[in-house]
Amino acid sequence: MQDRVAEIAKLQVELANQKAEEEKLLKKVEQLKKEADRAADLAEQLADVTAKKDELLNANEFQQKELDRISEQFRAEQGKRKEILNELEDLKGKIRVYCRVRPFSKNESEDPTKQKMCVDINDEMSLSVKGRLHQNYNFDSVFGPDSTQDQVFHETKRLVQSAVDGYNVCVFAYGQTGSGKTFTIQGTEENPGLTPRSIEEMYRLIGNMRQYDVELSCYMVEIYKGELRDLLLPKGTKDKPKLEVKQGQNGQVHIKNVTVKPLSGEADTTAVFETGLGGRQVRKTLMNDESSRSHLIFSIMIDATNKLTGKKSLGKLSFIDLAGSESSKKTGTDKEGQAEANAINQSLSALGNVISALAEGAKFIRYKENLLTRLMQDSLGGNSKTLMFVNCSPSVYNEMETKNSLEYAKRVKEIKNNPMQNLESKVIQTANKKIDAQQMMIDSLKGLAQDNGLGDKLAELLASLEKNDDEHEGGTVFSLNLDGVKGEDSQIREKPATGRKSNELGRASALKTETSGRPSMKPSQSGPIKQFKK
Ligand SMILES: Nc1ncnc2c1ncn2[C@@H]1O[C@H](COP(=O)(O)OP(=O)(O)O)[C@@H](O)[C@H]1O
Ligand SMILES: [Mg+2]
pLDDT digits (tens, 9 = 90+) for 361-371: 888 999 999 99
Helices H / strands E in the chain, number of each: 13, 21
The answer on pLDDT for 527 being more than 70 is no
| The Cα angle at residue 183 between residues 394 and 291, in degrees rounded to 5 | 85
| Residue where a domain stops, chosen among 399, 423, 447 | 423
Whether 382 contacts 418, CB under 8 Å = yes
Whether 422 contacts 171, CB under 8 Å = no
The answer on pLDDT for 405 being more than 80 is yes
CA 454 to mean position of chain CA atoms: 54
* For range 447-453, the mean pLDDT: 75
Give 62's DSSP letter. Answer: H
126 & 149 share domain: yes
What is the count of structural domains for the chain? 2
* For range 273-302, the mean pLDDT: 77
**Domain membership flag for residue 341:** yes
**pLDDT recorded at residue 13:** 92
349 & 438 share domain: no
The answer on pLDDT for 510 being more than 50 is no
Percent of the chain with pLDDT over 90: 46
**pLDDT recorded at residue 501:** 34
* Better-scored residue on pLDDT, 314 or 514: 314
- The domain of 465 spans 425-524
CA distance 533 to 85: 36
366 & 507 share domain: no
**Domain membership flag for residue 469:** yes
Which atom of ligand 1 lies closest to the CA of 105? Answer: 12
| Residue where a domain stops, chosen among 423, 456, 477 | 423
| 368-372, 415-419, 489-493: segment of lowest average pLDDT | 489-493
The answer on pLDDT for 236 being more than 60 is yes
User: Is the CB–ligand 1 distance for residue 181 below 6 Å?
Assistant: yes
Q: Which helix (H) or strand (E) holds 199?
A: helix 194-207
User: How many angstroms separate the Cα of 190 from the Cα of each of 183, 196, 266?
Assistant: 11, 12, 18
The ligand that comes nearest to the alpha carbon of residue 281 is 2
Shortest-distance Cα residue to atom 1 of ligand 1: 102
Q: What is the CATH number of the domain that holds 373?
A: 3.40.850.10
Q: Within 13 Å and on the Cβ side, how many CA atoms surround 135?
A: 13
Average pLDDT score, the chain: 80
The answer on pLDDT for 519 being more than 60 is no
User: Is the CB–ligand 1 distance for residue 182 below 6 Å?
Assistant: yes
Confidence bin at 297 (pLDDT 50/70/90):
very high
Confidence bin at 418 (pLDDT 50/70/90):
confident
**Domain membership flag for residue 170:** yes
The answer on pLDDT for 316 being more than 60 is yes
Measured in angstroms, how far is the CA atom of residue 291 from the centroid of ligand 2?
Answer: 5
| 137-141, 198-202, 308-312: segment of lowest average pLDDT | 308-312
Burial level of 341, CB count in 10 A (0-12/13-18/19+)?
buried
Confidence bin at 137 (pLDDT 50/70/90):
very high
String of DSSP letters for 481-516:
--TTPPP---PEESS-TT-----SS----EEE-TTT
**Domain membership flag for residue 33:** no
261 & 178 share domain: yes
Shortest-distance Cα residue to atom 20 of ligand 1: 178
Shortest-distance Cα residue to atom 8 of ligand 1: 180
**pTM for the full predicted model:** 0.71
**Domain membership flag for residue 57:** no
Burial level of 110, CB count in 10 A (0-12/13-18/19+)?
exposed
**pLDDT recorded at residue 402:** 94
User: How many angstroms separate the Cα of 275 from the Cα of each of 219, 283, 330?
Assistant: 12, 18, 31
> What phi-psi label fits residue 123: left (phi over 0), alpha (psi between -120 and 50 degrees) or beta?
beta
Which of 102, 148, 322 has most ligand 1 atoms within 8 Å of CB, for mutation?
Answer: 102
